Amino acid sequence: MAEFTLDDIRRILRASAGVDEQTDLDGEHFADTAFVDLGYDSLALLELVNRIEREYGIQIPDGDLAHTQTPREALSYVHARLTEAHV
Amino acid sequence: MSASGIRPGRRGRSVVTGLGVVAPTGIGAARHWESVLAGKSGLGRITRFDPTGYPVRVAGEVPGFRAGEQVPGRLVPQTDRFTHFALAAAEDALADAAADPATLPEYEMAVVTASSSGGTEFGQHEMENLYQKGSSWVGAYQSIAWFYAATTGQVSIRHGMRGPCGVICGEQAGGLDALGQSRRLLDTGSRLVLSGGTDASLCPYGLVAQMSTGRLSTEDDPARAYLPFDAAASGFVPGEGGAVLVVEQADAARARGVPAYGELRGYAAGFDPTADGTAARHSVLVSVVRRALADAGLAPGDIDMVFADASGTLAEDLAEARAITEVFGPGGVPVTAPKTLTGRLYAGGAALDVATALLALSAGVVPHTAGLGRTAPGCEIDLVLDRPRQTDPRTALVLARGHGGFTSALVLGAGDRDARTK
Amino acid sequence: MTASHRRAVITGVGAVAPGGIGRDAYWDLLTAGRTATRRISLFDPAGFRSQVAAECDFDPLAAGLTPQETRRMDRAGQFAVVAAREAVADSGVELPGADPERVAVSIGSAVGCTMGLEEEYAVLSDGGRDWLVDHSYGVPHLYGYMVPSTLAVEVARQAGAEGPVALISTGCTSGLDAIGHGVQLIEEGTADIVLAGATDAPLSPITSACFDAIKATTANNDDPEHASRPFDGRRDGFVLGEGSAVMVIEELESARRRGATVYAEILGFAGRSNAFHMTGLKPDGREMAEAVRVALDRARLDAGDIDYINAHGSGTKQNDRHETAAFKRSLGQRAHEVPVSSIKSMIGHSLGAIGSLEIAACALALRHQVVPPTANLSTPDPECDLDYVPVTAREHRMDRVLSVGSGFGGFQTAMVLGRPTLGEAA
């Protein structure tokens, strides 16, 4: 099963949606800060989902991540999907 | 009031109070102007990709542009290079005009830019993803980075400008048309307009598409590749970059207490149906110039310098030289084309010419056209060669022709921003 | 300047739309409430999230183009030229006439010649294999595909125009903005005749893929005929479309002098931007409401003067709620009293072109005094509580109508049209 960590979320966000000067993706509160407070809008989250789907070969149905607020929530969702895919 | 908001009576005065330049001659209006006066060319062998396999290998690239430093970090991967250029230039132009959008009425600020081919490089990358990997590899930002309105939209958002925003495409003439439109916006309720244009189509697909016109120079020596009005003219060199200008109602600028580089005094546009090779009935360029002069309330003798379109192809150079001669008489006005230092910048080209002309008006000099040798037979114009002329010009005419027949002219008058070297 | 005395009227309409080529076929479709959405046939949509579109059954040669015109022009250009010819014939105006400099062109397009650009890319890059695309496979008109201004050039050549020619590209408000630009050229005295309209032919893999990526288009692939559902609770995104409408817009006095039949007068228009987000809309509809307010002001009308609203109605939840709020905010109680409909339910969303097709529909609605319906509206979204004229066209007395557009980039445009008799009495 592919590893998926907070670092992967950081990496994908950096590459796809960029980082604002005032945002610290490496800060201690990253995992529990809402995406919107990190400066990421709906397009950034769509792009995050698209890239996770492609890289990890999973399908994330529309709306599944619509209520995901933080990187930690996204992480646990993706972990669950990866486990399903693996079983 | 009318449907478009025009009020009866004379048009208000429109002045330019800020300049933002991103060009092969340098980033920033000051650096660009130094290069122009020094005749320092920004042309060179293409470095953004390996041009070895192409017949066109010389272009004008913007030196040392680091998007990560000049554009908000989030917008770097979300937008194309043409938008990066515009975001950086808009920021500079507002600072130059000492204008803080947060202090101005949101609906009275507008953005109108020229676009020529949109986010060309971004689009090529995403088409590569599509054709190599599949449709699900096309990124979310393709929907907002590739299209022609990307720059105007991002600049409007960045600065909270909620007035009527626009995008005009007329290839190399688009920059003048955008500035012409900025005057209309100032007449219909806007007080400050960010206008101009940028282009960044120096990616392989962009260059190859440009080559299909047969007008690009295949000369390998950057010093010999773009010689408009010259007996050795061999076509033009493509470039990237452009300029963004702050255009304001003269009263609004005065109320803010900021000086103006100059005034947009007259504008006209027309379409030349002979661009497809059909025989000329008359010169559309002549008629456009005359209409622009009439709009400015000026006679040919009132114009102190002409910034030529300077296509670099023999027939078009001759047609332009003849049109200038028909209006101004043989050698009747100094003509210059500093764009030999940058190449033709498409949507950014005419906007940069206007910025250069405004810098020239405020500095009191006519910049020269660097690098030319022997003027082509039949070009009976007073081409400013070798060095700038310190003749304190008070007016300028800028000409631009866009692929397919777009023909535009803009008349500028000097402002009260004095940049003469002491 | 004699701005206050120069008024702009529509004297000719041409349309290339899904469901039938030509103005009459277009109006028949709209009034029948028939949908022209179907599974995409212009390319194989297998593997795409959204496989539905509203396509034009368009044969360029049958539509009167020559083999060379067909080769030279991208599909969007072909649409525009065919629509322009129909508009000119409809208006009866002789072009270019005595003074070509007084003839102008203003064409809108959101994505330009994207089909030609993509098809050639696929060849030059050998299916995306080579970043350094092979120039030896370049077609002679490749640059014409790269620059969208080609679309305006083609129409200008048709018209013999020597006046100002512009290609306006403000995303999905391009059509309204291009017509507005044309009106301005007439009012300010630059032109007496303008061919104004818009064209888009975005049904190609790259455009479908980019809307897939942001999940903006419908995934209702099993029921294409009912996939475009503006204001309906079961909508799930917009349906891409294609097409063009071009209109002859003339200065009222010169139109009158030659005895032209007038469809409508353009009484007011205005644009505003939300400066909020490239694709997102705030639910309050604030900037669109401001555009409507200014357009009414320029037309010297009150909310109570509007008899019909041609909505943007793209069929995304975000849009439908945004503009419903904007109508209430700008028109107050009147928003609840007038019919509101979205023709995108039938012809899909042709990006920049749709605004021109909607203005053409408004001109025809004023002439025939019939409101085209919102097809597929069977389970209204409770948040959208206006009279959206579900399913069936409606005879309705209309003197003045409002049309709005909303586009990526945050652009919001409003335009008000009036019956010619009213205009002349004013």
Task: State residue A27's pLDDT score.
Answer: 87
Which tokens go with C203?
A: 């049904």
Instruction: Provide, as residue numbers in chain A, all residues whose Cβ is less than 8 Å from the Cβ of C213.
Output: 46-47, 50
Query: What CATH number has the domain bearing residue A46?
Result: 1.10.1200.10
Last residue of some domain: B196, B225, B256? B256
pLDDT, one tens digit per residue, over B138-173 is 999 999 999 999 999 999 999 999 999 999 999 999
Residue C255, pLDDT > 60, answer yes
**Residue of B85, A35, C169, A43 whose CA lies nearest to B76:** B85
Identify whether residues C41 and C124 lie together within a single domain: yes
Q: Does A18 touch chain B (CB under 8 A)?
A: yes
Residue B250 Rama label (left phi>0; alpha psi -120 to 50; beta): alpha
In a domain, C385, yes or no: yes
Residue A2 has a CB neighbour count (10 Å cut-off) of 12
How many Cα neighbours within 13 Å face the side chain of C223? 9
Helix (H) or strand (E) holding B361: helix B349-363
Contact between B1 and C301 under an 8 Å Cβ cutoff? The reply is no
pLDDT, one tens digit per residue, over C74-86 is 999 999 999 999 9
Task: State residue A23's pLDDT score.
Answer: 84
- Per the residue annotation, which of C56, C172, C362, C384 is the catalytic one? C172
Does B77 contact A43 at a Cβ distance shorter than 8 Å?
Answer: no
**Is position C172 annotated as part of the catalytic site?**
yes
Q: Does C215 touch chain A (CB under 8 A)?
A: yes
Last residue of some domain: C205, C233, C257? C257
pLDDT, one tens digit per residue, over A6-59 is 999 999 999 999 998 888 898 889 999 999 999 899 899 999 999 999 999 998
**Is position C277 annotated as part of the catalytic site?**
no
Which tokens go with C419?
A: 């019956």
Predicted structure pTM score? 0.97
Instruction: Provide, as residue numbers in chain A, all residues whose Cβ is less than 8 Å from the Cβ of B76.
Output: 18
Does C213 contact A47 at a Cβ distance shorter than 8 Å?
Answer: yes
User: Among B62-66, B389-393, C203-207, C419-423, which is the least confidently predicted range?
Assistant: C419-423
pLDDT, one tens digit per residue, over C332-375 is 999 999 999 999 999 999 999 999 999 999 999 999 999 999 99
Helix (H, G, I), strand (E, B) or coil at B203: coil
Does C213 contact A42 at a Cβ distance shorter than 8 Å?
Answer: no
Identify whether residues B107 and B182 lie together within a single domain: yes
- Among chain C residues, the shortest Cα distance to B5 is held by C298
CA distances from C87 to C11, C92, C108 (A): 8, 9, 16
Which tokens go with B162?
A: 């909620």
In a domain, C341, yes or no: yes
Residues 142-161 of C with CB under 8 A from B: 142-150, 152-153, 156-157, 160-161
Identify whether residues C230 and C92 lie together within a single domain: yes
Last residue of some domain: C232, C257, C282? C257
Residue C150, pLDDT > 70, answer yes
| Number of domains forming the structure of chain C | 2
- Domain of A47 in residue numbering reads as 6-17+30-86
Q: How far apart are the first and last CA of chain A?
A: 10
Identify whether residues C171 and C271 lie together within a single domain: no
| Number of domains forming the structure of chain A | 1
Query: What CATH number has the domain bearing residue B343?
Result: 3.40.47.10
- Domain of B199 in residue numbering reads as 14-256
Contact between C197 and C216 under an 8 Å Cβ cutoff? The reply is no
- Among chain B residues, the shortest Cα distance to C147 is held by B117
Helix (H, G, I), strand (E, B) or coil at C264: strand
CA–CA min distance A59, chain C (Å): 12
Query: What CATH number has the domain bearing residue C57?
Result: 3.40.47.10
**Is position C226 annotated as part of the catalytic site?**
no
Averaged pLDDT, A49-72? 88
> How many Å apart are CA B355 and CA B370, to the nearest integer?
18
Identify whether residues B67 and B93 lie together within a single domain: yes
| Backbone dihedral angles phi then psi of residue C287, each to the nearest 5 degrees | -75, -35
Q: Which partners does chain A have (≥3 C-beta pairs < 8 Å)?
A: B, C
Which residues are CB-contacts of C50 (< 8 A; sequence separation ≥ 6)?
C208, C211, C212, C217, C218, C219, C221, C237, C239, C240
How much of chain B, in percent, has pLDDT values that exceed 70?
99
In a domain, A23, yes or no: no
Residues 22-81 of C with CB under 8 A from B: 47-49
- Among chain B residues, the shortest Cα distance to C47 is held by B135
Task: State residue C424's pLDDT score.
Answer: 47
- Domain of C402 in residue numbering reads as 267-421
- Among chain A residues, the shortest Cα distance to C237 is held by A62
- Residue ranges in chain B modelled with pLDDT below 70: 276-279, 421-422
> E-strand spans in C5-133?
8-17, 20-21, 37-39, 52-54, 103-108
Identify whether residues C97 and C118 lie together within a single domain: yes
Residue C136 has a CB neighbour count (10 Å cut-off) of 9
Last residue of some domain: B193, B227, B256? B256
**Residue of B282, B273, B237 whose CA lies nearest to B43:** B237
Interface predicted TM-score of the whole assembly (ipTM), two decimals: 0.97
Identify whether residues B240 and B300 lie together within a single domain: no
Least CB–CB distance from A62: residue in C215, C277, C279: C215
Helix, strand, coil tally for chain A in percent (to 5): 55, 0, 45
Instruction: Provide, as residue numbers in chain B, all residues whose Cβ is less than 8 Å from the Cβ of C139.
Output: 212
Task: State residue C184's pLDDT score.
Answer: 97
pLDDT-derived band at A66, boundaries 50, 70, 90: confident
> Who wins on pLDDT, C222 or A60?
C222
Instruction: Provide, as residue numbers in chain A, all residues whose Cβ is less than 8 Å from the Cβ of C279.
Output: 42-43
- Among chain A residues, the shortest Cα distance to B78 is held by A17
In a domain, C426, yes or no: no
In a domain, B3, yes or no: no
**Residue of B60, B11, B57, B69 whose CA lies nearest to B40:** B60
Does A62 contact C277 at a Cβ distance shorter than 8 Å?
Answer: no
